[in-house]
Amino acid sequence: MGSDFSKDDCSQYPTMDERNLGNLRSYLCNYNPPEGCVGGINILLFGISRSGKSSIINTFLSALDPQGMTITCVPIGRNSTSLTPELHSFKPDLDVAKYPVIPENVIHGVALTFDVNTIDSITEEQMNLFKELQTIVAQKYIYRVVIGTKFDLLGIQEYDHKRIYEYKPLQDKFTKLSEVTGMEKRSMFVVSNKWKGDKIEMINCILTLSALENMIRNIDKFLKVMM
């Protein structure tokens, strides 16, 4: 099994213990957005239908508060292969925008979502849309990350989830995503909504909250500079 792992191309090393889980929850639950952010930080999830957007939100909610509420769905596109939301609507600062920017709906970060098990089947047209969106987001100086979902279906044993970022098949997926989207692999994370037992639950909570903390901390730094 060890040969399946490589640290040469791994940039995520979350500490897998209860103390780190507590620190992550404390930071995120007590986070106060910079002055000028009305209602909090807004993060846009952008992905193909059934890429796991609802699962990501519910995993975030469950990891932050295991006894809390979850959601049943998120807004989706017009068909099973569409991107959510439509790419051209992601230009809210245009004079002709349907939903012009107001303080409450400013987008502070974008998470491009992919099912890591179906990346190889995404069409060239869809990948070009992701690349175009990434370019638009970069031009607007909005922080962006990639979140891969359903990594538990890649074949890695549950006891090795704590080393998921060293898993060679996942590194290969991230390499491909980096090539087609132009994003760096250090801005790519994985989440899973599969919970089995206290140990695995803790690991998946830490993986999830580490991705969310990364987004929040980087968005916060940028907003404080801009404001």
Helix (H) or strand (E) segment spanning residue 189: strand 188-191
> Residue 204: left if φ>0, alpha if ψ -120 to 50, beta else—which one?
alpha
Q: What pLDDT tens digit does each residue of the chain (227 aa) get?
A: 444 666 655 667 889 899 999 999 999 999 998 887 877 888 888 888 778 888 888 888 888 887 776 655 555 544 444 444 444 455 555 555 555 566 677 888 889 888 888 888 888 888 888 888 888 888 878 888 999 988 888 888 877 888 889 888 888 889 888 887 788 888 999 988 675 555 457 888 899 999 999 999 999 988 877 66
DSSP alpha helix (H) spans, the chain: 18-29, 53-64, 124-139, 168-181, 197-226
Residue 142 token pair: 């909005």
Q: Is this structure's pTM higher than 0.85?
A: no
User: Could you give the CA distance from residue 141 to residue 170 in angstroms, rounded to a whole number?
Assistant: 28
Domains of the chain (ranges, CATH numbers):
2-31+45-226 (3.40.50)
CA neighbor of 207 nearest in space, from 190, 182, 186: 190
- Average pLDDT of every residue of the chain: 78
